[in-house]
Structures are given as structure tokens and as C-alpha cells.
Amino acid sequence: MIKDTVKPLREPVAWVLVSVVFLAFVTGMWGLLNPSGAATDEDSWFLYNAYYGTSSFVGLEVAALLTAAVVLVTLLPDVIRRAKAILLIVIIEAGLLVLFGILTLFAGLFYESTSEYSTGPSGGDKAEAFFQELPEIALTVIPLLVAVAMLRAAELKSTPQQPQGYYDPAMQQAYPPPGYQQPPPYPQGNPGQWGGQQGYGGWPQQ
């Protein structure tokens, strides 16, 4: 009874989860490409936003939301009808988040403040931020790999098996049908020496 009640809610909840992640991605892109985010006019606003914006793309929150969406549509009993579409969206979103997470992570290493009022992050600060945000990128890769694996498994399950007794163009060979028994090989040597009276074509006659 509970199963029948919860099943209709799984797809809407999955759509809500991927929509929340999409909004998080849009927010991260706005913060990355917003020139007014720099501390001063002399600073490189893109590198400044990249240094402080990696966590806007990757992290435990988005990884948990995307993983929950995959679990709702595939890993629970009775896979929902639009599971493939949601898996594709999860793959695209996770791929974009990881891509921009890596981009901002490495771009932030080149940020240097040119303002006399701010010294900017030191080398130690950059190294600390790098090793803190690297695991967040790894977490975001998890739903990407899970979604790809589930989509691949679904495609393999839906692929029809090749029946026996078919022609393989790649091997240039025809395979016999089921139940076919290969006849015994013809005797080797001179047909006239097999014994019996030699008939037409060298085959013995009884």
C-alpha cells in the first residue's frame, strides 16, 4: 500500500531535485561572470570570482541531490517511465558542474590582488583552498558515474540478443541454425581404393 502511494511521487521529486541543481548551476555562473564581484577595479574580476566561486558548482549538496534523483528513478523497485530522460539530465548537469568546478579551481590559483588596500590570498591560502575543494569535485563525480552506469546497464538490457544461425558480416562467416548437425567428412585418398565396385565418379557401389 505504501509502495503504491509513494511510486507516483518519485518522478516529480526527481524533477524537483534536478531543477534545484540547475538553479544552483545558474547561480554559480552568474557569480563567476559578474564583473561587479571583484574587490576593486584593479583586480581581475574573473580570477577573483573563480577563486571564491568553486564551491558554487561542486560540493556535498549538489552531489547528494543528483544521487538522490538517480536512486529515485532507477535503484528503487519499478523503474519509472522517464528514468532515461532524468539520467541524461543528471549526466549533463554533473558534467557541467565538474567542468566549471575544475576550471574555477585552477583559475583561482592565478588570482593576485593588485590593490593597495588588499594583499589577496597568499600561496598557503591558495594551497589550502585547493585541497579543500578537490574532494568536493570528487563528490560531484559520483552521481555522474552512477548515472552513466545505470544508463549503460539499461541499454544493454534492452539490446536484443543475436539468435543462433545468423551471418556475421564482420567475420564473413555464416553460422548454422540451432539443431544443425555437421555431416561426417568425406573419406580422403583415391576413391577407387575404398573397396567395392567403383561406380560413377569414383563412389563405390554395393
pLDDT band at 10 (very low <50, low <70, confident <90, very high): confident
pLDDT in tens, 172-192: 555 555 555 666 665 555 544
**Residues 108 and 46: beta-carbon distance below 8 Å:** no
The whole model's pTM is what?
Answer: 0.69
pLDDT band at 201 (very low <50, low <70, confident <90, very high): very low
Residue pointed to by grid coordinates 549538496: 61
Residue pointed to by grid coordinates 576593486: 40
Which pLDDT does position 16 carry in this prediction?
Answer: 96
DSSP result, 93-125: HHHHHHHHHHHHHHHGGG-----TT-----HHH
Phi, psi of 167 (to 5 degrees): -100, 125
Question: In this structure, what C-alpha cell is assigned to residue 134?
Answer: 578537490
pLDDT band at 95 (very low <50, low <70, confident <90, very high): very high
